[in-house]
Structures are given as C-alpha cells and as structure tokens.
Amino acid sequence: MIKIDLQLFVTLSKYQPENNEFLEIQEGTSVGKLILDLGIPKDLVKLIFVNGKRQKTAYRLKNNDRLGLFPPVGGG
C-alpha cells in the first residue's frame, strides 16, 4: 500500500473520500483506475496533475504523490 494526497476540484469535490490527504491505495494503481474506484465518471475529469505536472490516466501513482483532478472548465 502507498499513500497519496488527493485533491478533487470544483464539481468533482463531491467524490472526495474522507482523509484524502493520506489516501491509501494499492501500489501501481493508475490514475484511471483510481478515478473508476472513486466512482467518478471518466468524462468528468479533464485535467490531471501529479506533483504539479500534467499527466495522463495511465500514470502509475507512487508513494507521497500529490494528485489533483479537475473537471472541464467553461467560460466565456
């Protein structure tokens, strides 16, 4: 098991688990798998940042990673 810091922003915040700063997950879990495990529809996640760098859903999370997920942003 590894621990990550998970932040879900704006409309994704309703999927935020308790104790998200020290979320325990299986080693080797991809961002895509975690999104599915949290019950977030994959089309709701537009931007993925790990440790401040943009990543794809295939990224395999490592111990102490900081993961931020953002929905599509609208505007004018």
Six-digit token string for 41: 């529809």
Q: Return all residues near 49 (Cβ < 8 A) that are at least 6 apart.
A: 55, 66, 67, 68, 69, 70
Q: Which residues of 30-39 are buried (b: 16+ CB within 10 A; e: fewer)?
A: ebebbbeebe
Q: What is the CATH number of domain 2-70?
A: 3.10.20.30
pLDDT digits over 29-66, tens only?
Answer: 999 999 999 999 989 999 999 999 999 999 999 999 99
Which residues partner with 68 through β-bridges? 7, 49
Q: Residue ranges of the domains in the chain?
A: 2-70
Which residues lie across from 60 on neighbouring strands?
Answer: 30
* Model confidence pLDDT, tens digit, residues 1-30: 999 999 999 999 999 988 777 899 999 999
